[in-house]
Amino acid sequence: MDRGAAMLILLGLLVGMVLLFLAIFAVAPIFCSCIISLIYTLYLFIANEASGIHHAQEFENRFWTVLAVMFSTALFFAKDSPLAFGQWSPSLGFVCVFTLGYCMHAWDRYSHRKEISRGYGLIRGTSAASSLVRLQAAGQLAELNSCLSDIDQLLIPSTINNFINQRFILQKEREIISIFEEADKKALNYLVAHAKLGLLFYKMKDHRSFHGQHRTEFIELLTVERLSALTVPSRVVVLHALQMMKLPANAKAEYWVRNIILNTHQDDLSELKTLTDAKGDYFSMTKLIFDGIRSETVRQDILTHFRKEAAIQEAHMAMGTKKAKLRGLKAWTKVLSDVDDTLTCSAGSYPAGVDKRFGKKVVYPGVLAFYRELDLGSNGLYEWPESSVGNLVFLSARPHIYKDVSERQNFAKFEKLRMRGGADGRAGMHTVPSLLAGDVASGREYIVTNDMEPLALKKFENFKQYVSVYPEFKHVFICDNGQGDVRAGELMFDAFPKHLEALYVHVVKDIDKTHGYDQLTWSKKGLKPCFFRTYPEAALDAALRKPPLIRLEGLQRICQDAINDFYMIQTNKWGDMKQKADRRAELNQGLWRVNQFLSSSGYQKVPFIEAEELWKNGEMVQTPYGRGTILSFDSVRDMYEVELDWRPLDVQVSDYEKNDKQATDKSDPILSRSNAHDAVPSVLETVLETAEEMKEENMNSTTGSGDDVIVREATITEAGTSLVAIVEEAAHKVGAEISPSHELAPLKSLSTVSGDSLDTGTLPLSSDLPAPGPSSADKEEPCETESRVSQLRADGKKSSGKSASLVWSHPVRAKLQGTCISKFSPPSLPAPPKEGRSIFSFWGGAGESVKQKGDEFKRGDRCTTPFGPAKVIEYQKKKSIVVVEMIGWKAHAYLQKDSVEKLSKGLWDSLLRRLHLAESNAATMKPKPIKELEFPYVKGTVVLTPYGEGVVSRPMSPVSRAVKAPNSARDDNSSDSKTATIGISLNSWEFAGASSPTLYCSLNTACEWKKKKDEQVGTTSLLSKVGSLLKRMTSQAESTPVQAVPKKPRFERYYKDGASVTTPFGNGHIRRFRSSDGFYEVILIGWKLKGGKHPVAFFQKDAMSYRLSSGCQEGYPVLTKMGLSGTLASVEPTTGVHVVTILSLSMVCYLQPDEIAQPLKAAVGEDVATPYGEGKVCNYRSQDDMYRIALTGCDAMLYAKGETFDRITDGMKDGEGPFGMSWLLRYIFFTSDDKHGVVVGSTRSRSNSVASHSIVSHKSEQ
């Protein structure tokens, strides 16, 4: 399906949906309005994954519940709804609404629990726990699962369960934390690997009670306190559980992720990132860094850590340390690949791809082996170990829609490829890959405008993020040229030339039609993409590179796996046998090239793909040369040796009928050629013989007994010539190969003989024909067509009116490809054409004009003649003359019968005839216009000459128009056109007498000048339309100087001037940036020289980081030097500015790091949980680190240290916020008398010093 068909289908669906909506809206406008509102709300929910409603799974669950309630309300209570039984029974309607809402709530909880409870797909054989430790950990795991089942109620929501059974839930959550606290190192890793950690993070909540923030406490236990005891796979499990919980669900989640990553180093860090990407889902490391983490400062800390650790790894390789030897066993190459038309064939399905060479979703032969060998490299292991994790990444243009809706299909496909078997077990994908998906915007742009550039830019953006996560790896990009992949590869090379090691392009359409194809520009850049059609060719290029990407043994394995993959393609995936044969020949061509290299390198060649023998020996088949019998088969070349049956058609028919009759009588079903030898043809045809058979016949033949069979010389010569030409042309078209021992011999001319019952001038068939080979006659007359026929023998039994019998003793053999052979069809004589009227004679009679026979012409019949339509007046049968009266002009004609055709009387022909007559009458009535004289036969024509503009003053004579046309005068090479001249008066020149000179030139030169003038005049209309606009622009351009387009700097600036940064030599401020080399000039404020000045240092971006105030973290309370306490909302990494929100004053402050005094446990105005209940911080005294807290529910005031209470807003409070339900539960179960929380309004300011009357009152309280 091409793009046009897809757009038509999409348009049809849209029109159908609109019409359906209008039809339903006309019947039920209220119900339709409600449904449209809900659909739009659902669209906003899905399209805005970064909104607050997606920050926690609890929020999403409540959204689906409310949506189901609103839909059921409209369905059961809308007046025009088809199920509006709530109108006459409100009780039943409310019960149905509640039931549907609860069902949606339970289904969403169940689906999410099922998702977070599944395994992680990680290899768990890395655990070194002994059997005793496993047994002990298994007991702890059973106890852990028992506690989890107590707090995880399937039918009761967690929010309601926590309100009803709060003490019981707190007890069980504390037991879970104790299990992980008391486990030793090996048992801890066993529990992390086998427990449902994601479900634990989801079910354990941060309760509004002192020491009740169990979720925060449990996660901090694993990510901070006992992180050093966790192995790399266990850390991956913890990161995955945090992603499933959703990082915005807890304010500390991003810092937990940061702490895990920053405490993992070098090769362990590379393993951590690779295992995170190899879980078989879309929760990859790239998604965690760029989508999950919202704080730019945390993200930059992690990326900076990646770069530093990569630099250390490169230093180890440069120094050749022990770690370098271990690193040398791996390729350290990330294999990035496209999916459609690179991994699997799209079969031309729009918009997936354009390749139609294979069936849809067919895996290209050898592609999986190519991935595996690139991952192995040239210096590592020879075989891929099953317990190893690979480095395969797919870069797809398919858009990410919502969660993992689109990615799930791709991962299911990858899992099927993992499970592929094969003869040697290597047919499947060697590892679990990662996936970098596209977006809706680029996909929409491609479908609407057919522009592939957005697809290329999106893939480049994904690659840019991926390289920043894996700076220690090299990258190989495998793609196709069907869409924008090649352009994306060029962008990758431009931005990261050291990281992109190779670019392989699978050719699925003409190379010159590739988007972004520019060979000249690529050669200047040094980009050398490898275009290939089969993966053995790509593997050959990888083995020939310096240094090689794969070893020669890997090249052999790729070729062998490509052969096995070809055999694994199911028969229904091939469109026809020709498609299969073409792909086999294409793949064999690549294998042949590999074998050439392997043989020169001393390695064993790989076998070719053998074709399937479709036709058995002795089977009769149909070929482009006629019917034949299979003699032998070459499976490598797919060539059949066929013995052609070139006997006369009537002989073949009689022979087939005879054998068919014998088969019916249960005789031998095998066709015998001896029966065909005795057949008697009715017409003699020319038969070509092989050279050896003719030679043998010439030696053994004698004069035939009886009457000789003769033909005319001209007949045999012409037949032989035409037959040879036909055979040669057919062989050239279908690629047939004539065996060297069975070549077609030239035809020899025959002499004339006489015989009984023969006409004068006939020739007998000579029985003494020379053997083929060069002769004197051949040399003298090489262009003469020589005839040669098979030996014919008369059987001596002649009858009147019948031909003599023939003996066909010299069959022809040919070698044909399997695609040129089809199923045998029984021979049959051609049937005479049937006469009669068509079943559609109502429309057109017999479909065409029918020639008259006998006296079919009658008076009044309409007919067609060479002079137009006419009407029959008289038919003279004896003279075969038809007298007609012409239609459209007055005339009578006497015409021969053969030149008149009677028109059929169908309705369709009648309409066409009337239309034809109307057009002919209009043409005859319209007068022909008289063509006026044109250049160069008329005066006054303006011509633009090299000497100025002129006018033709002496044109050519109009008499020459009969000889040559004006338009062809410049192309005429005759002597007349060269000598003919015209005169042109130059108006721009003026003599003293006010006369203008006359320029004489040839006709060809004048025509060229005239053409230039016409081109200039063609643009005059366009220029005149924009003339006034140009004048205005000219006047503005004179007053406004033209600014040159700034050249893009080589290095882009990240830190701004004045930004606070941290360097290896202390804190500093950015003074300026040099775009020429990417260095920043930094003033080190922690150092002072003798004169009191600060030293200046120069650093690149990777050597610095933004400055964060000592001991502070984003999202936590701080105390400013102005005496105000608030929450550090964020830190701008490019400037180092700290954004602090003052909750008590509803104010935002933008401060430098030096303006932050210290971190706090809680800010003024925040809720805290104390041993005496909840309260609100009213004041903080920095002198003795004392907090004054007003307890909720009483007038008591509590003075406490920071370690004696908990900040409630540390974790995402279940039931709080705009999507919480605590207010409803408090209203149902409790009586709230909380009257606190008065907020004073203020205006946001970007000043570091904020002054208002509220600040003064706040300071006075201290």
At 6-36, the pLDDT tens digits run 778 888 888 888 888 888 888 888 988 999 9
Beta bridge partners of 995: none
Counting every residue written for the chain, the total comes to: 1262
Confidence band for 846, pLDDT divided at 50, 70 and 90: very low
Cβ neighbour number for residue 630 with a 10 Å cutoff: 21
pLDDT score of 844:
43
Distance separating the N- and C-terminal Cα atoms of the chain: 76
pLDDT band at 333 (very low <50, low <70, confident <90, very high): very high
Secondary structure class of 305 (helix, strand, coil): helix
**What residues contact residue 343 under an 8 Å CB cut-off, 6+ apart?**
337, 363, 364, 367, 394
pLDDT class of 329 with cuts at 50, 70, 90: confident
Angle between helices 166-182 and 185-194 (to 10 degrees): 130
Cα 608 to Cα 596: distance, rounded to the nearest angstrom: 13
Mapped onto helix, strand or coil, the DSSP state of residue 568 is helix
Residue 1194 DSSP code: S
More confident residue, 1116 or 1235: 1116
Q: In this structure, what is the dihedral angle of CA atoms 1049, 1052, 1055, 1058, given to the nearest 10 degrees?
A: 0
Supply the DSSP string of 685-699, one letter for each residue: -----BHHHHHHHHH
Residue 1097's pLDDT band (cuts 50, 70, 90): very high
Return d(Cα 825, Cα 652) in angstroms, integer: 12
Question: Are the C-beta atoms of residues 97 and 72 closer than 8 Å to each other?
Answer: yes
pLDDT band, residue 251 (cuts 50/70/90): confident
The residues, any chain, with a CB within 8 Å of residue 1253's CB and separated by 6 or more, are: none
**What pLDDT was estimated at residue 122?**
61
Q: Which residues pair with 478 in a beta bridge?
A: 337, 504
Q: Please tell me the predicted confidence (pLDDT) of residue 548.
A: 92
Q: What angle do CA 1149, 1154, 1157 make, to 5 degrees?
A: 75
Residue 168, pLDDT > 80, answer yes
The Cα–Cα gap between 270 and 283 comes to 17
CB 944 within 8 A of CB 928: no
pLDDT of 741-796, one tens digit each? 333 333 333 333 333 333 333 333 333 333 333 333 333 333 333 333 333 333 33
From residue 242, alpha-carbon distances to 44, 186, 840 in Å are: 26, 22, 75
Residue 595 near residue 603 (C-beta atoms within 8 A): no
Confidence of residue 843 (pLDDT cuts 50, 70, 90): very low
Which residues is 1142 bridged to in the sheet? 1147
Q: Is the pLDDT of residue 372 over 70?
A: yes
Q: Quickly state the pLDDT bin for 468 (edges 50, 70, 90).
A: very high
Tell me which of 342-356, 364-378, 963-977 is least confident. Answer: 963-977
Between the CA atoms of 36, 38, 42 and 44, what dihedral angle is there, to the nearest 10 degrees?
A: 70
Q: Are 1167 and 1155 in contact (CB under 8 A)?
A: no
SS3 state of residue 631? strand
The phi and psi torsions of 607 (rounded to 5 degrees) equal: -75, 165
User: For position 840, what pLDDT does the model report?
Assistant: 43
- Which comes out higher in pLDDT, residue 678 or 660? 660
Longest dimension (CA), the chain: 146
**3-state class of 1120 per DSSP?**
strand
List the single range of 150-154, 352-356, 364-368, 593-597 with lowest mean pLDDT: 150-154
Average pLDDT, the chain: 76
Q: Could you tell me what percentage of the chain is helix, strand and coil, using 3-state DSSP and rounding each to the nearest 5?
A: 45, 15, 40
Question: Is the model's pLDDT at 831 over the cut of 80?
Answer: no
Pairing of β 812-817 and β 639-644? antiparallel
Angle at 199 between CA 195 and CA 201, to 5 degrees: 100
Residue 384 pLDDT grade (very low, low, confident, very high; cuts 50, 70, 90)? confident
Highest mean pLDDT range out of 663-667, 1091-1095, 1150-1154?
1150-1154
State yes or no: pLDDT of 503 exceeds 70.
yes
Output the six-digit token pair for 651. Answer: 């002989």
pLDDT digits (tens, 9 = 90+) for 542-587: 999 988 999 999 999 999 999 999 999 988 899 888 889 899 999 9
Average pLDDT over residues 379-397: 85
- For position 1043, what pLDDT does the model report? 41
CA–CA distance, 558 with 553 (Å, rounded to integer) = 9
Tell me if residue 759 falls in helix, strand or coil.
coil
Q: What is the pLDDT of residue 788?
A: 36
pLDDT (0 to 100) of residue 281: 87
DSSP E strand boundaries for 310-372: 333-337
pLDDT at 458: 92
Pairing of strands 1060-1063, 1066-1074: antiparallel
Q: 675 CB contacts (<8 Å, ≥6 apart)?
A: 655, 658, 659
DSSP alpha helix (H) spans, 744-872: 776-780, 841-844
- Give the pLDDT confidence of 112-123 residue by residue, as tens digits: 888 888 766 665
Residue 894 in this model has a pLDDT that exceeds 70: yes
